[in-house]
Amino acid sequence: MDGKLRDNDISHVVEADRAHVWHHLIQHAGWTGPDPKADPRIIVEGRGMRVWDQKGKEHLDGVSGGVWTVNVGYGRERIANAVRDQLIKLPYFAGTAGSIPGALFSEKLISKMPGMSRVYYTNSGSEANEKAFKMVRQIAHKRHGGKKHKILYRDRDYHGTTIACLSAGGQDERNAQYGPYTPGFVRVPHCLEYRAQWDLSGEEYGLAAANAIEEVILREGPDTVGALCLEPVTAGGGVIVPPEGYWPRVQEICRKYDILLHIDEVVCGVGRTGTWFGYQHYGVEPDFVTMAKGVASGYAAIACCVTNERVFEMFRDDATDPMNYFRDISTFGGCTAGPAAALENMAIIEEEGLLDNTVAMGDYMLDQLRALKDKHAVIGDVRGKGLFLGAELVSDRGSKEPAPEKQVQAVVADCMAQGVVIGATNRSLPGFNNTLCYSPALIATRDDIDHLVSATDQALTRVFG
């Protein structure tokens, strides 16, 4: 690790963290694991796919910054320099004005999204989704007397942390305790074949899962349903890759009932699954695409709600109506560092052929995880798309009883002790929260993947025998 902090400096940092930082997603009582007196972990530096903690210990990062974000890896001076130059030139201006990086990145982004045309800048995935929800509601008011306002979301999907996003959240364990929720959000079933709800398989299963959406639409009344919001591959809900047949039927249903299709690419967007966007595997034509994490690989905060021209037109088709525009602003949507970083991020992915690498390494890793499944009975299912993969752990392959959370966490902790960071999807609801999860940077090599898989192998042996 370059520039290692002196011992007395780092102990001050650790104490400051312990005293004042309220960490995300953590029960602070005993949060450091079995030893409540252990130091909090502070990540100090990163290079490529590796990070170093405050003790100088090296970790191979199998989850791109904890939550599937640092797609191009750490230490990209090219991005840092572009951000620095832009900040010195103009850090910020908002309101109705544009910026040079904002215009150029939107042009570049749209060139990768045939059928889409407009980029609305925000600063988090939740906020990008909120923008789409607001647009749907406004369209309902403009076009349908307020009636076609319901937004469908799927069991196990996640769309963010605000109250409206939680109202569209399919993970009850994350939603509990934050009600009352925003009205007008309606749940449709998940599409995970491993946890089958219909006695079918393959394409037939995909069709049944999509048809279940139609049933909800008919139950609610198609004239009340404005949009359907889905992740292309469900992320935190258990790395759920939709079965064959699912997406084309979903598209057909949306067209049939004039329902806007909103795809949440906050995780899958910008290369994670081996195409620029996850939906592009399935030939889908969305109306809204929201994205955040990989847009600038975490080098700056940027998120976007991208729409097609059909949606955009609905907000400017009557210049005489004073209400006929999107009455919305995002203060930090005016930061220029985000699009400046995002432009370089995208250029790196193109110039280094990282989409191809993601496909090749993703296939390789899927094979390796399948081989691990042959060895460890505790792995019930392996799934993935590109460099976004999961291994679901079960106590019994027959009953598919989820492996206990403690043991799933012990596997993650064992990997951590080996200097390898992997993830596990959210916990506490039986059936889905027992999935080990991998999302290495798109620069991953075979050696990196072998390292991730062999650490998992050793951890599984130690925890489950």
- Distance of closest approach, residue 261 Cβ to ligand PMP, in angstroms: 15
Neighbours of 255 (CB within 10 A): 11
- Closer residue to ligand PMP, CB minimum distance, 235 or 340: 235
DSSP β-ladder status, 185-188 and 150-154: parallel
3-state secondary structure of 187: strand
Give all strands (DSSP E) within 70-171, no chain letters. Answer: 118-122, 150-154
CA distance 213 to 205: 13
345 touches ligand PMP by CB under 6 A: no
314 touches ligand PMP by CB under 6 A: no
- Distance of closest approach, residue 324 Cβ to ligand PMP, in angstroms: 29
CA neighbor of 261 nearest in space, from 231, 296, 300, 295? 231
158 touches ligand PMP by CB under 6 A: yes
| Exposed/middle/buried for residue 179 (C-beta within 10 Å: 0-12, 13-18, 19+) | exposed
- Closer residue to ligand PMP, CB minimum distance, 19 or 25: 25
- Closer residue to ligand PMP, CB minimum distance, 52 or 153: 153
- Distance of closest approach, residue 131 Cβ to ligand PMP, in angstroms: 12
- Among 236, 238, 298, 339, contact with ligand PMP (rule: CB under 6 A): 236
- Distance of closest approach, residue 346 Cβ to ligand PMP, in angstroms: 19
Per-residue tokens: 200 = 């079918």
Neighbours of 395 (CB within 10 A): 16
Crossing angle (nearest 10°) for helices 354-375 and 446-464:
30
163 touches ligand PMP by CB under 6 A: no
242 touches ligand PMP by CB under 6 A: no
- Closer residue to ligand PMP, CB minimum distance, 275 or 368: 275
160 touches ligand PMP by CB under 6 A: yes
Per-residue tokens: 109 = 């982004």
3-state secondary structure of 44: strand
Which 31-70 positions form the footprint of ligand PMP (CB under 6 A)?
67
- Closer residue to ligand PMP, CB minimum distance, 302 or 408: 302
Which 101-130 positions form the footprint of ligand PMP (CB under 6 A)?
124-126, 129
Q: Which stretch binds ligand PMP (CB under 6 A): 70-78, 143-151, 154-162, 354-362?
A: 154-162
Per-residue tokens: 402 = 């989820």
Which 174-233 positions form the footprint of ligand PMP (CB under 6 A)?
231
Q: Which stretch binds ligand PMP (CB under 6 A): 47-55, 86-94, 153-161, 338-346?
A: 153-161
CA neighbor of 123 nearest in space, from 305, 315, 340? 305
- Closer residue to ligand PMP, CB minimum distance, 214 or 264: 264
Q: Which stretch binds ligand PMP (CB under 6 A): 152-160, 366-374, 416-424, 435-443?
A: 152-160
| Residue 225, φ and ψ in degrees, nearest 5 | -100, 120
CA neighbor of 385 nearest in space, from 277, 228, 248? 277
Q: Is the peptide bond before 430 cis (omega within 30 degrees of 0)?
A: no
161 touches ligand PMP by CB under 6 A: yes
- Distance of closest approach, residue 361 Cβ to ligand PMP, in angstroms: 21
CA neighbor of 3 nearest in space, from 44, 42, 59, 40? 44
CA distance 309 to 286: 11
- Distance of closest approach, residue 52 Cβ to ligand PMP, in angstroms: 25
- Distance of closest approach, residue 341 Cβ to ligand PMP, in angstroms: 15
- Among 45, 53, 214, 264, contact with ligand PMP (rule: CB under 6 A): 264
170 touches ligand PMP by CB under 6 A: no
| Exposed/middle/buried for residue 143 (C-beta within 10 Å: 0-12, 13-18, 19+) | middle
Torsion of CA 161, 165, 167, 171, to 10 degrees: -60
Per-residue tokens: 146 = 């307020």
- Distance of closest approach, residue 268 Cβ to ligand PMP, in angstroms: 8
235 touches ligand PMP by CB under 6 A: yes
Interface residues toward ligand PMP, by CB under 6 A = 67, 124-126, 129, 158-161, 231, 235-236, 264, 266-267, 292
